[in-house]
Amino acid sequence: GLCPAWTWTSSSVMADDDKYDVIPASQRPDGTWRKEVKVKKGYVPPDEVKKFETRGSKWRDEQIPGFVPGMDPEAFAASQQKPKSQHQRRNENRKKRKEEAAKAGSSVDEVAEGVEKVSLKAEAAKTEEAPMDPKEALQKRIRNLKKKLKQIDELKGKVDK
């Protein structure tokens, strides 16, 4: 009902005679008092009449928000998951590395292989950064400086206008 301090129950009604019931005095939520009321048997005060709900509104309330009927529940669950933050991904990677390290054990051979792989990766990275021909490097530097000079001239032109 609309009034939480007073509810219509059989225990709150006193029978006056066969035709009437008496609703006892009660206190409202704001502190004021309701006086005793004499009503016909079977009468329910408007405040206590339950709100009518259609089957459709009940069904709508039971539905999961955002779920489309006919959609694959697994696909819906996947779409509702929030993307993981950077910290969560880092922590997961740390856990995976720890688990892998625990599984792999600390045998000398495996550690040696790991060191070789790291050194091979470092060498591969060095070879990828093959030094350019000094003439090419100089020409590239000249092009960059010319570009910057051109931008400076454009800015000066804008300031002068």
Decide if 9 is inside a domain.
yes
Residue 12 located in a structural domain = yes
Q: The tokens of 79 are what?
A: 């779409």
Q: Does any domain span residue 93?
A: no
Does residue 100 belong to any structural domain of this protein? no
Q: Name residues whose C-beta falls within 8 Å of residue 8's C-beta, 6 or more positions apart in sequence.
A: 1, 23, 44, 45, 48
Q: Is residue 41 part of a domain?
A: yes
Range of the structural domain that residue 9 is part of: 1-65
**150 lies in some domain:** no
Return the SS3 of 31.
coil
pLDDT at 116 over 90: no
Q: How confident is the model at residue 100 (pLDDT cuts 50, 70, 90)?
A: confident
Number of domains in the chain: 1
Q: Which of 69-78, 98-107, 139-148 has the highest mean pLDDT?
A: 139-148
Q: Is residue 23 part of a domain?
A: yes
Does any domain span residue 51? yes
> Collapsing DSSP states into helix, strand and coil, what is residue 147?
helix
